[in-house]
Structure formats: C-alpha cells, structure tokens
Amino acid sequence: MKVERGFSDEEIISSIQNNREISKVLDFMYRNYFEMLKTIILSNNGNEEDAQDIMQEVFVAFIDLVRKEKYRKEASVRSFLYTLTRNMWFSEARKRSSALKRDTYFEDQKDDLEKDVTDYLEYSEGLKFVSNLFESLGEVCKKILTLFYFKDLPMREILEHVDYENEQVLRNKKYKCQRELIKRIEASPALYQNLKSALEHGR
C-alpha cells in the first residue's frame, strides 16, 4: 500500500523556497487542510465550487508569499492558510455583494427608464388623440381647451384670448366643450378613464 509522505511546516517552506517536490507539497496541503478551510467558505454563504476555486487561489498565493519571503513563520502553516482563506473569501463575498447591488440598481434604473418611456409615449399618443379631438370641436372650443389643458392658463388669462363677457360665461362654455369632448372620448375605451378624470378636474 502506498504511503503518502507527510511534511512538517519547515519542510513545506523549504520545499517551496527551493522549488522541490512542489506537487507533493500541494497534495499534502490539500489532503490535510482542504476540509478545514472549506468549512470557512461553506459557513459563509459559499458552496463546494466556491471552495475549490478559492482554495486554488489560496495555495497559489501561499506559495508566492513564501517565495517572496513574506511568510514570517509567526503562525503555523495551518493557521496562516486559515487566515488567508478567510480574508480571500470575505473579499470575494464583498465583491459579489457589491456587484449584486450594482446590478440590482441598474435593473431598477432600467425598469424606471422603460416605464418613463412607456408613460411618455402613451402620454404623447394621448395628447395627439385629444388634439385631434379638439380640432373636431370647432375653433372656440379648441382655443379654450388648448389654453386650459396644454398652456395651463387660469380662466382670467384665457378670457383675454376669447370674446366672452366674464369668467363665469367662459366657464360655462368650457364645461360644454368638455362634455362634448368626453362624449367623443368615450368611443376610445383605452383613453376614456384617464382623460375623463383629467378633463372633469377643471370643471
């Protein structure tokens, strides 16, 4: 039966620094530390695939740090790998969280934009429809309703543009124009409810 070789911390460091038996060192670290390190990831919203990916990065980073003599031997290899895994996974988790928030934000913005565009197109179509209806009501009604709804002028200012004795007479005329307009709009069910409410608001 094949006996797997063991490595002490000193032997692991020496092998990496001298580039000897690297594959055996990696096999040893994987066999002895992977399950322990995987627990860090699984207990912090990660999965098996995340664990495999992070551990590859951890072992590569560990070898690089040892070769650059940045591993000071102040902690055991086991403890150092534990800290390295924890830091790398939490960093990855933060990136994912930020990316998710960013994607969610842009999706929300996209939805809002699409709604704004849809609302605008519907509004524009409504204006075009009403404008055409205004034309069919005659010149006086067209002028009164256009000034009131499109120009947003108060009755006292509209009075300056039409030939009526006072505001009350003008209001009566506007009401008649509105009623006639509503009758015609009722022939278009899609616009009826919204436009009827808007027009009757000025009564």
DSSP 69-122: T---SSS-HHHHHHHHHHHHHHHHHHHHHHHHHHHHHHHHHHHHHHHHHHHHHH
Cα separation, 130 vs 121, in Å, equals 14
Convert the pLDDT of each residue in 95-106 to its tens digit.
877 655 655 545
Question: Are 82 and 32 found together in one domain?
Answer: yes
Cα separation, 134 vs 122, in Å, equals 18
In a domain, 75, yes or no: yes
In a domain, 62, yes or no: yes
In a domain, 126, yes or no: no
pTM (2 d.p.): 0.46
Question: Are 22 and 97 found together in one domain?
Answer: yes
In a domain, 40, yes or no: yes
In a domain, 157, yes or no: yes
Of 75, 101, 127, the residue at which a domain comes to its end is 101
In a domain, 170, yes or no: yes
Question: Are 53 and 97 found together in one domain?
Answer: yes
Q: What is the pLDDT of residue 1?
A: 43
Q: Which two tokens stand for residue 97?
A: 């969280």
Number of domains in the chain: 2
Of 101, 128, 146, the residue at which a domain comes to its end is 101
Residue 49: which domain range?
Answer: 9-101
Q: What is the pLDDT of residue 55?
A: 86
Backbone angles phi, psi at 187, to 5 degrees: -75, -10
Convert the pLDDT of each residue in 44-62 to its tens digit.
888 888 888 888 888 888 8
Q: What is the pLDDT of residue 119?
A: 55
| C-alpha 76: how far from chain center | 44
Mean pLDDT over all residues of the chain?
A: 76
Question: Are 158 and 80 found together in one domain?
Answer: no
In a domain, 156, yes or no: yes
